[in-house]
């Protein structure tokens, strides 16, 4: 999809969604005859609902990633945006306590949801139409048969825009059967492409070692066949790499970091603030006073345990928890172990149920933690663990979290062996390389599930 068509797509669906949202709102007001009695409240709902949908669509990039007709992506992001929209509206109603009709609210959600469903089904029909036949597909061949070309063809196989014809490779270079046929030797590639109306040639053969490749490229382009070079960057860095571009300059990095992008960080921060504020208002507003009384009755000492932990970029911050241990001098150096005699009776319950971690939502609101991320370690452990594993400090590229991907996969609590630390770091790094908002929601739901089910490492 060209940039022009992409802009039309964005404008069309964004305008249609906003029109549907406002049409449903106005129709319900007229049908329910509410405008005279409480117009101000419903006007506020009108404004907030528009802002909520725009924010939800932006956070989930509903209209942004449309480089091809991809219903799976568009449908999934639309569903996420709709659910976030509902959360925003319910949060607004709770905060301002307007006396909206339940029928009006439910009808708004249902009406707008049905229109969203209908328009996405239309998009699905369009996607199916675009995929029918080969008239929208480009015929491609690959020059060279090697590990790089096989990885490239693997991507072609899941594309609905490319039709892979086969490889061209000299017989002495072929040592195995290929998924697609070897159509000829390397120098026959262009003539085959001309005779069979191939649209694009992808070369994984190094032109520096095989000068004839440049001549082939010129002949191909003079016959209106695009010739593309596929460099093997693993010749320079012997591991998987991530490529970015600054204008036309390729930049290789050792990993993808979605949260290195300012837009992604804004999305995550908005989600963190909204989610943590809801937890603070709905839960901590009454839980903190209750815990304060129970903790004071169970043992001497403060209600909160405040400890310096390692945060993003390894900057220390004060991390809040409900106190679960008796006051002791080893709190900042010794990790809690199973059957630790420092744990109070109330503290054992708080740790098992994860209630002791809930004050960290205040850390999220302040900005030195996120709802989801690698769990923060005490400074002493950061210093020790960084000597054990070279990859350990990578987890500090992002903010630490109240919960994390490693924790919901069973790697929490006491670290007794190097392998336990290694697996925890692997999960933390996988999280920062694959982050998205849907992933955060998944971790939150899994955290609740693991808490209900029980975790043998929670002590």
Q: What percent of the chain has pLDDT over 70?
A: 85
User: Is 411:427 a contact under the CB 8 Å cutoff?
Assistant: yes
Return the pLDDT at 123. Answer: 76
Report residues of the chain scoring pLDDT below 50. Answer: 1-5, 35-37, 66-68, 459
Q: pTM (2 decimals)?
A: 0.60
Using CA atoms, how far residue 366 sits from 5, 145, 269, in Å, is 42, 54, 11
Strand stretches in 311-445, DSSP E = 316-322, 370-372, 401-403
Determine the pLDDT at residue 201. 92
Residue 12: what pLDDT?
A: 73
Axis-axis angle for helices 262-279, 437-453 (nearest 10): 40
Structural contact between residues 371 and 283, judged by C-beta atoms closer than 8 angstroms: no
**Amino acid 131: pLDDT:** 58
The confidence score (pLDDT) of residue 316 equals 92
Q: The domain at 138-254 falls in which architecture? A: 3-Layer(aba) Sandwich (3.40)
Contact criterion met (CB below 8 Å) for 57 and 15: no
Looking at residue 288, what is its pLDDT?
Answer: 93
User: Of 153, 152, 202, nearest to 180 (Cα)?
Assistant: 153
> What pLDDT was estimated at residue 348?
86
Residues of the chain with CATH 3.40.50.20: 138-254
According to the model, what pLDDT value does residue 303 have? 92
pLDDT of residue 405: 93
């Amino acid at each position: 999809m060209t940039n022009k068509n992409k802009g039309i797509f964005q404008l069309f669906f964004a305008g249609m969604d906003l029109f549907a949202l406002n049409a449903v709102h106005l129709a319900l007001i007229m049908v329910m005859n509410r405008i005279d009695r409480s117009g101000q409240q419903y006007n506020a709902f009108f404004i907030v609902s528009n802002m909520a949908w725009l924010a939800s669509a932006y956070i989930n990039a509903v209209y942004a990633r449309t480089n091809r007709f991809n219903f799976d992506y568009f449908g999934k992001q639309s569903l996420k945006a709709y659910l976030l929209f509902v959360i925003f509206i319910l949060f607004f109603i709770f905060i301002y306590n307007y006396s909206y009709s339940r029928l009006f609210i439910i009808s708004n959600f249902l009406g707008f949801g049905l229109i969203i469903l209908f328009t996405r089904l239309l998009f699905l029909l369009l996607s199916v139409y675009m995929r029918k036949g080969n008239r929208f597909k480009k015929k491609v061949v690959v020059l060279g048969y090697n590990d790089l070309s096989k990885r490239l063809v693997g991507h072609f196989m899941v594309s609905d825009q490319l039709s892979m014809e086969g490889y061209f490779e000299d017989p002495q270079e072929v040592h195995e059967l290929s998924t697609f046929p070897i159509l000829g030797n390397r120098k026959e590639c262009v003539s085959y492409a001309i005779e069979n109306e191939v649209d694009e040639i992808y070369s994984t053969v190094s032109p520096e070692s095989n000068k004839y490749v440049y001549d082939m490229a010129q002949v191909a382009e003079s016959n209106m066949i695009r010739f593309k070079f596929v460099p093997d960057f693993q010749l320079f860095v012997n591991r998987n790499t991530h490529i970015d571009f600054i204008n036309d300059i390729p930049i290789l990095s050792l990993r993808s970091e979605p949260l290195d992008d300012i837009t992604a960080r804004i999305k995550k921060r908005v989600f963190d603030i909204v989610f943590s504020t809801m937890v603070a208002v709905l839960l901590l507003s009454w839980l903190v006073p209750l815990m304060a009384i129970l903790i004071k009755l169970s043992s001497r000492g403060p209600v909160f345990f405040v400890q310096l932990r390692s945060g993003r970029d390894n900057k220390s911050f004060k991390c809040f928890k409900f106190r679960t241990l008796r006051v002791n001098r080893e709190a900042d150096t010794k990790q809690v172990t199973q059957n630790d005699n420092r744990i109070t009776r109330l503290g054992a319950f708080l740790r098992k149920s994860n209630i002791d971690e809930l004050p960290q939502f205040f850390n999220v609101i302040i900005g030195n933690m996120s709802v989801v991320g690698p769990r923060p370690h005490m400074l002493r452990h950061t210093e020790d663990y960084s000597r054990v594993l070279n990859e350990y400090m990578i987890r500090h590229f992002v903010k630490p979290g109240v919960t994390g991907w490693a924790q919901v996969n069973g790697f929490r609590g006491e670290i007794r062996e190097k392998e336990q630390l290694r697996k925890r770091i692997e999960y933390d790094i996988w999280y920062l390389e694959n982050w998205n908002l849907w992933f955060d929601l998944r971790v939150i739901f899994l955290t609740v599930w693991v808490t209900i089910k029980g975790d043998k490492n929670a002590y």
